[in-house]
Amino acid sequence: MWRPMSNGMSSAKTFVVAVVGATGAVGREMVRTLERRRFPVSRLVALASKRSAGQTIPWHNTELTIEELGPTSFAGVDIALFSAGGSVSRDYGPIAANAGAVVIDNSSAWRMDPACPLVVPEVNMAAADVRPKGIVANPNCSTIQMVVALKPLHDAARIKHIIVSTYQATSGKGHAAVEDLLAQSRAVLGGMPVEPDVFPGQIAFNVLSDWKAGEGDYSEEEWKMVHETRKIMGDASIGVSPTTVRVPVVNGHAESIHVQFHRPMTASEAKSLLRGAEGVVLMDDTYAPGVHPQPAHATGTDAVYVGRVRDDLAVPGALNLFVVADNLRKGAALNAVQIAERLFTSSVERRT
Ligand code: A2P
């Protein structure tokens, strides 16, 4: 039974926080983000598979021992951040919620469940107030940075159609994928044959379609961008035409976005809307080689960088943009921690 209530939490209160998948690329970033943003943690429970139990990770000035995830892991936990894959979230998300934790889940397991809000704080934080299953879903990394950039424009002129091409970094596929990129790169540079490990082919010095097939010859990742954008923006009429590819970048996703509106929008108006928009850094420079949002600059930072804002040359009133963000931060860990910050530093719903 759920009911809205103020639990009287204030920033002075501290919380028991669990990170599920604490040894992974996103899980480690979640731990770092909690520390960096001084989230009021009384106890951090770092969970992973049996393989990692007993290992340690840095936490403030000490080392925290990884515990094996199990049905009793969530006793006394207030907030559970999950990033250990869909099946772990499907199995253990409800267990954590039943134990009384608010679950913030980075997998795709619950994103399209009508009973789970799908939240980007800059866009639709109010949706997190209603969570019948006790689970708040963190969106797909590519979708998060796109909606942060487009929300101010949508509010002004209502988006009709988005054509988006992604250039996604290997860290979005996890720690092992980064290792695969580096190993493949060493092989190529050494004149050795490439032996892909977690990628479906050569990623070093190449570009790959890297996701399972979805309906109609689109990948699952492409469908995520369609469905999640509509759910977060609260507008099922938005057309999304996506093409997603993986590029040989360690960290930081880039996106080329063409956007059409229900009324004409100029680049000049868009820039004024984006300047100062929450979570956005507008890169307003006129075109010059090498002057634009780049993964190498965005990595290790929190913002969504929006640049190359141009009037479309063929479609009057439409725009083209180039958007870059750290996919492990705003695309995953930071977004999840921001949800927790906003839930737990104001009135929240708790399971009774
Ligand atoms: P482990 O390191 O013990 O395998 P990444 O996204 O970088 O691949 O990381 C995935 C994370 O999810 C890791 O922390 C991994 O733990 C964790 N994980 C994967 N499968 C399980 C599982 N069955 N139970 C608990 N944690 C899991």
183 & 302 share domain: yes
The domain that contains 311 carries what CATH number? 3.30.360.10
Please report the pLDDT score of residue 5 as a whole number. 30
Please report the atom of ligand 1 found closest to the CA of residue 68.
25
Task: Select from 20, 23, 81 the residue to mutate for testing ligand 1; criterion: most ligand atoms less than 8 Å from CB.
Answer: 23
274 closest CA partner among 259, 252, 289: 259
109 & 61 share domain: yes
Please report the pLDDT score of residue 352 as a whole number. 27
Please report the pLDDT score of residue 322 as a whole number. 98
Torsion of the alpha carbons at 310, 332, 196 and 223, rounded to the nearest 10:
-60
112 & 169 share domain: no
Ligand 1 site, residue 293, Cβ cutoff 6 A: no
What pLDDT, in 10s, does the model give residues 245-276? 999 999 999 999 999 999 999 999 999 999 99
294 & 190 share domain: yes
Which residues, 6+ apart, have CB-to-CB distance to 243 below 8 Å?
A: 164, 165, 166, 222
Relative to beta strand 2-3, strand 56-59 is unpaired
Strands (E), 49-204: 56-59, 62-65, 67-68, 79-82, 102-105, 135-137, 159-167
243 & 102 share domain: no
258 & 128 share domain: no
336 & 223 share domain: no
Ligand 1 site, residue 161, Cβ cutoff 6 A: no
260 & 317 share domain: yes
Spatial contact of 93 and 109, defined as CB atoms under 8 Å apart: yes
Structural domain boundaries enclosing 33: 2-138+332-351
CA atoms 108, 109, 112, 114: torsion sign = negative
> In the chain, which stretches have pLDDT less than 50?
1-11, 347-352
Please report the pLDDT score of residue 194 as a whole number. 98
Please report the pLDDT score of residue 111 as a whole number. 98
84 closest CA partner among 300, 332, 335, 325: 332
Which string of b and e fits 115-144 if b means at least 16 CB within 10 Å? ebbbbbbbbbbebbeebebbbbbbbbbbbb
What pLDDT, in 10s, does the model give residues 59-114? 999 999 999 999 999 999 999 999 999 999 999 999 999 999 999 999 999 999 99
Q: Whose CA is nearest to atom 10 of ligand 1?
A: 24
230 & 114 share domain: no
The domain that contains 51 carries what CATH number? 3.40.50.720
What is the tally of structural domains in the chain?
Answer: 2
Ligand 1 site, residue 186, Cβ cutoff 6 A: no
Ligand 1 site, residue 69, Cβ cutoff 6 A: yes
Please report the pLDDT score of residue 68 as a whole number. 98
83 & 232 share domain: no
169 & 314 share domain: yes
Amino acid identity at 67: E
279 & 194 share domain: yes
Largest Cα–Cα separation, the chain: 63
